[in-house]
Amino acid sequence: MEAKDQKSGLAFIDLKSNDPVNLYEDWHQEAIKYMKGSTSITCLATVSGETPRARHVLLRGYGKDGFEFFTDSRGRKSQELSENSQAAMCIYWMYENDKSERVSRQVRLEGRVELLPRERVREVYELEPLHCKIRAHLCHQDVKVDWTQMKGHHDELLRQAESDPESLVMPEHFVGYKLIPTWFDFYFSKDNFIADRMEFTNEDGVWKNMRIAA
């Protein structure tokens, strides 16, 4: 075994504020600085009856009001959220920083999910690149398809968009949600260090935090 594998240490989360959204923002900004791929991919877990279901979605915005994602209202996750609005997210960032440290960070969130107002959904839809607008029109999420038929429909929509870029108006089934967290868990580790964790729980509008073992 090489000497570096025998090293150990204890990572430390330096809390500058008692607000977990500020800590999320700091961590996200650092990930943007060092990570090559997207820093906005989160695993979203919902509940279907007694069965948990998880999939990745793109986080399109976050703040004190919640963590936003967008999807097809006809798909399974929308159905699940209409039956049980409790959901969880799990985000993972891994990169090498400018001190050549291998940083590993995870943020877990839990809370209730609410539909976003249509004006906010429209704002996001208008900023979508062409392929996302085409997907919103083309794909009825989770429904069985014939690939050749889909390709024909795709090419038709592409021709339509090229001749009239305004024609792909936002479909009704394009919806957005925000998860309003009442619980956060931040996990930080680097190199061979043992991770540090901070748990935040919202009690009557006030965030309480606690350092917990990894």
Stretch in the footprint of ligand FMN (CB under 6 A) among 10-18, 48-56, 108-116, 160-168? 48-56
Chain centroid offset of residue 55 CA = 10
How far apart are CB 185 and ligand FMN at their closest, in Å?
22
Strands 9-10 and 193-194: parallel
Contacts of 104 (CB under 8 A, 6+ apart): 92, 93, 94, 187, 188, 189, 190, 195
Site string (122-151) toward ligand FMN, x via CB under 6 A = -------------------xx---------
Q: For residue 39, give the H/E element and its range.
A: none
Least distance CB 211 / ligand FMN (angstroms): 31
Among 24, 27, 62, 69, binds ligand FMN (CB under 6 A): 69
In this complex, which beta carbon is closest to ligand FMN, that of residue 7 or of residue 56? 56
Max distance between CA atoms of the chain, in angstroms, equals 63
Among the listed ranges 54-62, 86-94, 147-155, 167-175, the one in contact with ligand FMN (CB under 6 A) is: 54-62
| Residue whose Cβ sits closest to ligand FMN | 71
Residue whose CB is less far from ligand FMN, 10 or 150: 150
Check residue 41 for interaction with ligand FMN (CB under 6 A).
yes
Nearest Cα to Cα of residue 44 among 110, 94, 112, 90 = 90
How many Å apart are CA 128 and CA 74, to the nearest integer? 20
C-alpha closest to that of 93 among 28, 9, 15, 10: 28
How many helices and strands in the chain, by DSSP H and E? 5, 11
Find the shortest distance in angstroms from Cβ 11 to ligand FMN: 27
State the minimum distance, in angstroms, from the CB of residue 203 to ligand FMN: 31
Binding mask 73-112 for ligand FMN (x = CB under 6 A): --xxx-----------------------------------
User: What would the two tokens of residue 19 be?
Assistant: 């607000």
Binding positions for ligand FMN, rule: CB under 6 A: 41, 53, 55-58, 69-72, 75-77, 141-142
